[in-house]
Amino acid sequence: KISKRILVIGGDGIGPEVTRWGKRVLETVAEKYGHAFVFDEGLMGHAAIEATGNPLPDDTLEKAKRSDAILFGAIGHPKYDQDPHLKVRPEQGLLRIRKELGLYANLRPIKLFDELLAASSIKPEVLKGADILFFRELTGDVYFGEKKKADDGSWASDLMIYHAYEVERIARKAFEAARLRRKKLCSVDKANVLESSRLWRAVVQQVAADYPDVQCTHMFVDNAAMQLIRDPLQFDVILTANLFGDILTDEASQIAGSMGMLASASVGDGTGLYEPIHGSAPDIAGKGLANPLASILSAALMLQIGFQMQEEADAVLRAVEQVLKKGYRTVDIADKHTENSMIVGTDGMGQQVIQQLANS
Amino acid sequence: KISKRILVIGGDGIGPEVTRWGKRVLETVAEKYGHAFVFDEGLMGHAAIEATGNPLPDDTLEKAKRSDAILFGAIGHPKYDQDPHLKVRPEQGLLRIRKELGLYANLRPIKLFDELLAASSIKPEVLKGADILFFRELTGDVYFGEKKKADDGSWASDLMIYHAYEVERIARKAFEAARLRRKKLCSVDKANVLESSRLWRAVVQQVAADYPDVQCTHMFVDNAAMQLIRDPLQFDVILTANLFGDILTDEASQIAGSMGMLASASVGDGTGLYEPIHGSAPDIAGKGLANPLASILSAALMLQIGFQMQEEADAVLRAVEQVLKKGYRTVDIADKHTENSMIVGTDGMGQQVIQQLANS
Ligand SMILES: CC(C)[C@H](C(=O)O)[C@@H](O)C(=O)O
Ligand SMILES: CC(C)[C@H](C(=O)O)[C@@H](O)C(=O)O
């Protein structure tokens, strides 16, 4: 019987509605396998600004540090997107928790469930068998470099900066993972233009020397954005910087059929944070339409990576697979060409997975 | 009878082999329509470094300034990609000519020839009718901001910076273009994280006020990378920064079937530069396999945008269309499912277009 403290942060938009189901899955796993998962709740993002004025209240940060893992939903609100001049912004909460907890490695597995082959905008024959693991650096780059702007609004800047140690630690994690997979690592940068990318490439080349069994290649980010769609099967592990990783993993969601299917694990030296890669989707928030599978799969990543509970994680994956096989689909993964598909909402999908998992 | 001076810069890799056909097309147009196009040649990139030590020799820059338009091939060489420490690099030539000539607006039209519907990795029903015009800012951003690195190699940085006037002038060009199209403009940034993007968004919002007839929306770059593949039909004009434009347009090449089909026009206050968006493709250089259509379509853009020769530009487009209709394909756009398709090399494809154009 294993005990774990889990902090649940729903966040903004569809965050709370989907995270509810990630949590229910963890509860079901705890019951089924006799673990003791203790849950706490925290505020972050727009929700936290409304309640406290702070996108990451001290209370949330303290709870986060005391937890074994964090299940997070999504962040962002249209109010701030329409007004570029607002100083306090929801995203600051997420960026700060990543930095404070040292979550420098963001793992984003992109894998298509066979049942969803038809749901993608990409041709099935191009996709079939695609299985990519992204390592996105998460606490450096232009996200955290110094920000400046002229008082008169005539210019603004962000510093894109990397330290060698930041590149090295995530590169090692990525090479270790590649070793356990198909032993191919592609590092993505823009070394033909950027000084920080040339540092990135030089450090990755050095680390690669310690992993002669892993085939290491380098690709420019523009080319990578193209190759991901042209031929996703060529990739195994992709290692890249914070900004490039943000863009490429969202793009790669189309390989998995929908953004609503993609989970991520942010890990570093301590407590890990598990979250869908989708955003707060304000346009569908509160309508019960959002796909909870990304949150459920984030819970599975927590079990696997955070708690080393491989069997439990597999049980969740199998439950999701079964539910898809039975034909249940949220609108984002619905496909007019599949017969017998049943369109369900957030709760309908969540309940199906819980049932399947409980009875497995 | 119109006289024009055109500077031809083949550049590196497949650059010279494809540019040859862009030039041949211009010669054919001149003969057919009785114009006087005078051609000159210039060195740039790795080829120029080998010959002169300088990626953009003064001689080339002077010729460029004296020309009415520049037809350019591609830049880049694997030698530099493998060694991030080399100081003199081919790409510096291209970046400097863009800056020196004030080529701040890079137009990249993404349009699928119906004949190539089957050649893309994206489903035909998702693609059919896609027609996007990118405005990529080309002389600012992290490309030109200050670059620094530690002597001991412990860190390196690039400054991502935008001035309001830089955003405004390209935004105006993009809104003007949208007015003549479907009157929709989507500005892509990362304003939820970057100060320079918040400036970008604020300036675009201001300019938008002068174009009430154009529907202006804003999208985060990660979402845009996803939406381009999920549903390309939603876009008309896309306006974005230098780095984001580099990534998104390469990605969008999959909408047009292949990178080998995409042309671009870099314009500003003086002489314009016309080039394929593909790179130097060292792996196929010298093999006679490269698709010359991007260079040929770049020549068409020169006729249309640089010389206001709409009829001549249309004749080139029609010639390309006819050749595709007849079934001629270079390997990058070949499609096993199309019957009667004939695989040709660079010269085979070039000759077909010239013939078609001459006889039209
Ligand atoms: C919300 C935003 C700050 C965040 C990011 O850019 O990192 C998101 O897009 C993500 O990918 O987790
Ligand atoms: C070669 C390189 C410097 C260039 C760029 O990044 O601008 C190229 O990728 C392009 O898109 O024209």
**Nearest 5 degrees, angle CA A296-CA A302-CA A304?**
105
Q: Is the dihedral of CA A276, A279, A285, A286 positive or negative?
A: positive
How far is Cα A316 from Cα A325, in angstroms, rounded to an integer?
14
| Closest C-alpha among B257, B142, B163 to residue A189 | B142
CB atoms within 10 A of CB B117: 17
Residue B251: closest CA among chain A residues belongs to which residue?
Answer: A226
Quickly tell me which residue has 């020769």 as its tokens.
B309
B114 in a structural domain: no
Residue A118: closest CA among chain B residues belongs to which residue?
Answer: B123
Confidence of residue B338 (pLDDT cuts 50, 70, 90): low
Tell the residue nearest (CA) to atom 6 of ligand 2.
B246
Q: What is the CATH number of the domain that holds B155?
A: 3.40.718.10
- For B17-51, the pLDDT digits (tens) are 999 999 999 999 999 999 999 999 999 999 999 99
Residue A351 has pLDDT above 80, yes or no: yes
Residue B275 has pLDDT above 80, yes or no: yes
How far is Cα B201 from Cα B195, in angstroms, rounded to an integer?
10
CB atoms within 10 A of CB A87: 5
The three-class DSSP label of residue A325 is helix
Q: Does pTM top 0.75 for this prediction?
A: yes
The three-class DSSP label of residue A17 is helix
CA dihedral B302, B308, B309, B310 (to 10 degrees): 100
pLDDT of residue B45: 97
Confidence of residue B257 (pLDDT cuts 50, 70, 90): confident
Residues of B in contact with A225 (CB under 8 A): 225, 247-248, 250-251
A72 in a structural domain: yes
| Residue that finishes a domain, picked among B256, B290, B315 | B256
Same domain, A150 and A228: yes
How large is the average pLDDT for residues B157-175? 98
Confidence of residue A118 (pLDDT cuts 50, 70, 90): confident
Residue B117 has pLDDT above 70, yes or no: yes
- Say whether B290 counts as a known binding-site residue: yes
Confidence of residue A339 (pLDDT cuts 50, 70, 90): low
- Say whether B246 counts as a known binding-site residue: yes
Q: Are residues B76 and A218, on separate chains, in Cβ contact within 8 Å?
A: no
Q: Which ligand is nearest to the CA of B44?
A: 2
Query: Residues enclosing ligand 1, CB less than 6 A?
Result: A 75-76, 91, 94, 246, 277; B 192-193, 222
Same domain, A183 and A99: no
- Distance, CA of B184 to chain centre: 21
By Cβ distance, the residue of A91, A156, A202 closest to B84 is A202
Same domain, A162 and A271: no
Same domain, A271 and A249: no
Could you give phi then psi for residue A334, rounded to 5 degrees? -70, 155
- Say whether A197 counts as a known binding-site residue: no
Residues of A in contact with B253 (CB under 8 A): 226
Residue pair B164/B195 in contact (Cβ under 8 Å)? The answer is no
The three-class DSSP label of residue B276 is strand
B327 in a structural domain: yes
Q: Are residues B247 and A250, on separate chains, in Cβ contact within 8 Å?
A: no
Confidence of residue B249 (pLDDT cuts 50, 70, 90): very high
Contacts of A175 (CB under 8 A, 6+ apart): A185, A207, A208, A210, A211, A214, A216
| Closest C-alpha among B360, B334, B336 to residue B348 | B334
B111 in a structural domain: no
Q: Residue A352 sits in which domain range? A: 1-107+266-360
B147 in a structural domain: yes
| Residue that finishes a domain, picked among A218, A238, A256 | A256
Q: Are residues A164 and B158, on separate chains, in Cβ contact within 8 Å?
A: no
Distance from the first to the final alpha carbon of chain B: 20
Residues of A in contact with B195 (CB under 8 A): 147-149, 156-158
pLDDT of residue B269: 84
B187 in a structural domain: yes
- Say whether A291 counts as a known binding-site residue: yes
The beta strand positions in A254-312, using DSSP E, are 263-267, 272-276
pLDDT of residue B1: 83
B186 in a structural domain: yes
B192 in a structural domain: yes
pLDDT of residue B336: 64
Confidence of residue A338 (pLDDT cuts 50, 70, 90): low
Same domain, B38 and B80: yes
- Report the nearest atom of ligand 1 relative to the CA of A91: 3
Residue pair A120/A130 in contact (Cβ under 8 Å)? The answer is no
Confidence of residue A258 (pLDDT cuts 50, 70, 90): confident
The three-class DSSP label of residue A72 is strand
| Strand-pair partners of A328 | A342
pLDDT of residue B253: 93
* Tally of residues, chain B: 360
Environment class of A204 (CB within 10 Å of its CB; exposed 0-12, middle 13-18, buried 19+): buried
- For A211-254, the pLDDT digits (tens) are 999 999 999 999 999 999 999 999 999 999 999 999 999 999 99
Instruction: Give the Å distance between the CA of B193 and the centre of ligand 1.
Output: 8
Same domain, A291 and A315: yes
Domain tally, chain A: 2
Same domain, B204 and B140: yes
| Strand-pair partners of A6 | A39, A69
| Residue that finishes a domain, picked among B256, B287, B303 | B256
By Cβ distance, the residue of B156, B247, B259 closest to A162 is B156
Asked which of A52-56, A111-115, B260-264 is least confident by mean pLDDT, the reply is: A111-115
- For A277-334, the pLDDT digits (tens) are 999 999 999 999 999 999 999 999 999 999 999 999 999 999 999 999 999 999 999 8
